[in-house]
């Protein structure tokens, strides 16, 4: 990456090289402005303080070789800078959660309760923490995302050309993902697919929420019953499309919201489930094409400890063995 010698009172201009070709502007800035809150970066873009080729731009714009990005001077307080330092305990959790790794990508068994990226009110996030852990992980990029309270397979690219290849696979729907969820009540055996368009909304409080709506985007999820309990069902969910909160909203729409889903569930007075506050949703498996070998790679993730405890409480579930990968 070549940095321009031109300066406008500490303004920095960067010429995009092959390494950053195809990267989203917001992700590029997050790496360049390390320690700056994501909300602040979006505000800089929105106000036009960040310029691409001397023009205003949007955060999701894809960069190309030769583009020139103007970045205004941004001060980072010592408190924000210190916030980027991860604790040894969290670093160990992440290191122990690596399921599969090559020179070009890795798959993490994401622990529940941690955001995958920064945002307002988020002090620690997975992508920034992992970039700090190893020098060879400095250029890590998320190939997709999981909700904060969802555990399981999370795919990262170590190189920008690998990221582009994985994003293309997601776009073409060739990446296969399997989730396990515990839902309220008895899921019908004949309910094997939900086709319901989803629309994203933002409440007056600023909270993002998704609902089924005729003018929403086409969304499809396939379902299968795995295990039945007295007051709940463990199901397999295979999202055909990749909408925000898709599985959670489709389960709600089917009349069987996910246990512990405080956003899309209902108040539950059932003694077996009333104390559960953790989202019972786990990304159990992901399959994609390896960019080097051009062969399919399938990675599976062990169930989250909290999910294991809930299943044990609901009558134990030990007929499946997760945690190995097949290449």
**pLDDT by residue for the chain (327 residues), tens digit each?**
444 433 344 788 999 988 788 888 988 888 888 777 777 888 899 899 999 999 999 988 889 999 999 999 887 654 444 445 578 889 999 999 999 999 999 999 999 999 898 766 667 889 989 988 888 898 899 999 999 999 999 999 998 889 989 999 999 999 999 999 999 999 999 999 999 999 998 776 667 899 999 999 999 999 999 999 988 999 999 999 999 999 999 999 999 999 999 899 866 555 567 778 889 999 999 999 998 889 999 999 999 888 888 888 886 544 444 443 333
Residue among 243, 232, 239 at smallest CA distance from 265: 232
DSSP strand pairing (176-184 vs 281-289) = antiparallel
Q: Let me know if 1 is exposed, middle or buried by CB neighbors in 10 A (0-12, 13-18, 19+).
A: exposed
Question: For 157, phi and psi rounded to 5 degrees?
Answer: -110, 140
pLDDT for the residue numbered 297 = 96
Q: What is the dihedral of CA 205, 209, 213, 215, to 10 degrees?
A: 80
CB crowding 268-288: b at 16 or more within 10 Å, else e: beeebbeebebbbbbbbbbbb
Q: Which domains does the chain have, with CATH numbers?
A: 9-80 (3.10.290.10)
pLDDT for the residue numbered 300 = 97
pLDDT for the residue numbered 193 = 98
pLDDT for the residue numbered 231 = 87
Q: Which two tokens stand for residue 152?
A: 């399981």
Q: Which two tokens stand for residue 54?
A: 């001397």
Active site residues: 147
């Amino acid at each position: 990456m070549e940095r321009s010698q031109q300066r406008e009172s500490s303004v920095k201009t960067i010429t995009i090289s092959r390494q950053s070709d195809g990267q989203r502007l917001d992700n590029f800035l997050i790496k360049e402005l390390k320690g700056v809150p994501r909300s602040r970066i979006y505000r800089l873009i929105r106000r036009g303080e960040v310029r691409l080729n001397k023009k205003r731009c949007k955060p999701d714009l894809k960069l190309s070789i030769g583009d020139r990005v103007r970045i205004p001077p941004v001060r980072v307080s010592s408190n924000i800078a210190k916030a980027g330092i991860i604790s040894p305990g969290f670093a160990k959790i992440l290191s122990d959660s690596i399921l599969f790794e090559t020179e070009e990508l890795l798959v993490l068994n994401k622990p529940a309760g941690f955001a995958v990226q920064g945002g307002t009110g988020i002090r620690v996030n997975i992508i920034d923490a992992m970039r700090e852990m190893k020098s060879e992980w400095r250029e890590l990029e998320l190939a997709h995302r999981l909700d904060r309270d969802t555990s399981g397979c999370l795919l990262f690219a170590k190189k920008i050309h690998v990221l582009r290849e994985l994003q293309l696979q997601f776009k073409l729907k060739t990446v296969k993902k399997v989730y396990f969820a515990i839902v309220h009540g008895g899921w019908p055996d004949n309910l094997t697919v939900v086709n319901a368009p989803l629309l994203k909304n933002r409440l007056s409080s600023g909270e993002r929420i998704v609902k089924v709506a005729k003018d929403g985007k086409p969304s499809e999820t396939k379902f299968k019953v795995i295990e039945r309990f007295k007051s709940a069902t463990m199901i397999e969910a295979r999202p055909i499309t990749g909408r925000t909160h898709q599985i959670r909203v489709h389960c709600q729409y089917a009349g069987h919201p996910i246990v512990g889903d405080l956003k899309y569930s209902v108040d539950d007075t059932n003694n077996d489930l009333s104390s559960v506050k953790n989202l019972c949703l786990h990304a159990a498996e992901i399959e994609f094409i390896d960019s080097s070998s051009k062969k399919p790679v399938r990675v599976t993730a062990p169930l989250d400890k909290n999910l294991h405890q809930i299943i044990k409480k609901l009558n134990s579930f030990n007929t499946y063995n997760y945690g190995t990968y097949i290449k």
